[in-house]
Amino acid sequence: MIPLISIPKKVVLASASPRRKELLTRMNLSFTVFPSHAEESGDELNSLSASDQACVLAARKAEDAASRLNQDCLVIGADTIVVKDGYKLGKPQNQEQGAAMLQFLQGGWHFVYTGVALIDRKINYRDTAWESTTVEMMKLTDDEIKRYTDSGEYRDKAGGYAIQGLAAAFIPGIEGCYFNVVGLPVHLLYVMLQKYLSFLDGRQSGY
């Protein structure tokens, strides 16, 4: 299958997320996975908006991977944050936290922000952008929350749920990009990759 867009360099995904890997594969891009070791917390993040925080963390992940690769490549980083009533939710550390997040999110709407970063250290190229999706979650009983968290699906998921998994039954509607909620806004990434190629073309043309 011919890819919609061809990148003339090695492409690296700085994430161990199987969901991001699957979505990037759907674009038929040739890439390798090189997970980031970047720190995903810090007091300096607390004062940032959710969109800015997602972009900062995405860039931090991409920069960490790029600095350890020491290769001529394009690195993609991403980070997802769930927000409701001004509270930012990352990944639950245990089942209790997962249940608390679902209890908080159920019965209303929340926002999902994903920041995406592209870094090419050889040409000093850095770009970040973000996508936002509004998600509705139905009212859940304590038993439904327990059954869901007992499944283990909450693990490593921002907000403690996976819209592409069992939690799909809890989501009556979304406004915006579905793939953003999964963890990688495909359209946004496509636009960013086009921008990157235009930058490369400009360099080659001498502009």
Spatial CB neighbours of 117, under 8 Å, sequence gap ≥ 6: 55, 58, 59, 61, 62, 63, 76, 77, 78, 126, 127, 128
Q: How many CB atoms lie within 10 A of CB 169?
A: 10
Alpha-carbon distance values, 112 to 36, 39, 64, 77, 89 (Å): 22, 21, 24, 17, 10
Known catalytic residue at 79: yes
Annotated catalytic residue within 43, 79, 143, 156: 79
| Catalytically annotated residues | 79
